[in-house]
A = this chain, B = another copy of it.
């Protein structure tokens, strides 16, 4: 049995993962501040999972952590994470010292891709690019069954490719990154702009009712035929297709999956993006990348971490 830990800025979620890559027991806590406190909570989670599942602590083969930020996977260090306030924290070594069990660590987006590939939407395919459409655009690239992250462990930043040169500013410092348009944040920006110029749009009443504009606002209104919302969804999907086509022309993965908040629009999203994508792709013959939705949600991070 292995344990996977998904370390987030808000919560730490952990799961005991069995040979079939199912989560046999799970638990979570709020993320405390400070590396020592994080390690203490992780240790408590591991012990609680063993207790829950009625297994002996010695039966744990290894523990894996998916962490935000830049990770030195070889050294087991969080080089830098803004979310956690970590700067060069040897997290794997600290937890391994506390537990007496091997601990590995990887970037959370890469780790989630690994889980999704082996236990979710990527299961039947030989390679995969996962694109998570959340606050940002993250993702992971799985080639030969393993995370591909370049010679320095920093590759696979699918959100940080410029698709609009000198375009909207991105959190990374560049301009016109795919993330600035294809993230939920980008979608909300488009939605708000459309609401301002279309005060009678259904989007306005939906946002009023829910108390805020979200990544769902335009999709909800578009599904009900609102034309301003339709234009927002259309533009958003054309950005999604643009970046996805870039990734396919470069990687030609067997499957490209959309995960994260926006992917909860489900088949509707795929049906909107697919024709745009096909019109953009370099002609490749019969073996074409399949477009799918991620299946595991947050469990991908736990399962992937356990597989490190």
A residues with a Cβ closer than 8 A to B are 70, 72, 79-80, 125-127, 141, 143, 148-158, 160-165, 167, 172-174, 238-239, 242, 245-247, 249-254, 279-280, 282-285, 287-289
Given contacts A70-B283, A80-B283, 9 further A-B contacts (CB under 8 A): A79-B285, A143-B148, A151-B289, A154-B282, A158-B250, A161-B250, A164-B164, A165-B239, A165-B242
Q: Which residue of B lies closest to A155 (CB)?
A: B252
Q: Are B249 and A160 in contact (CB under 8 A)?
A: yes
> Which residue of B is nearest A127, CB measured?
B151
Nearest residue in B to A159 (C-beta to C-beta)? B249
Contact check, A162 vs B246: say whether CB atoms are below 8 A apart: yes
B152→A282 contact, CB < 8 A: no
* Chain B hits for A247, CB < 8 A: 250
Partner of A70, one of B127, B163, B253, B285: B285
Q: How far is the CB of A218 from chain B (nearest CB, A)?
A: 19
Q: How far is the CB of A238 from chain B (nearest CB, A)?
A: 8
Cα of A172 to Cα of B283 in the assembled complex, Å: 8
Given the complex of chains A and B, what is the CA–CA distance between A131 and B111 in angstroms? 30
A167 and B167 alpha carbons, distance in the complex (Å): 12
The answer to whether B285 and A154 have CB atoms under 8 Å apart is: yes
14 A-B pairs whose Cβ atoms sit less than 8 Å apart in the complex: A70-B283, A72-B285, A126-B151, A150-B253, A151-B289, A152-B287, A152-B288, A157-B282, A161-B249, A162-B163, A162-B280, A163-B163, A164-B164, A247-B250
- Contact (Cβ within 8 A) B253 A172: no
- Picked from B148, B239, B246, the residue with its CB within 8 Å of the CB of A161 is B246
A152 touches B280 (CB 8 A): no
A256 to chain B, nearest CB (A): 11
Kindly list chain B residues whose C-beta atoms are within 8 Å of the C-beta of A148.
Answer: 143
Chain B, Cβ-Cβ closest to A238? B165
Q: Are A250 and B156 in contact (CB under 8 A)?
A: yes
Once the chains are docked, how many angstroms separate the CA of A149 from the CA of B239? 25
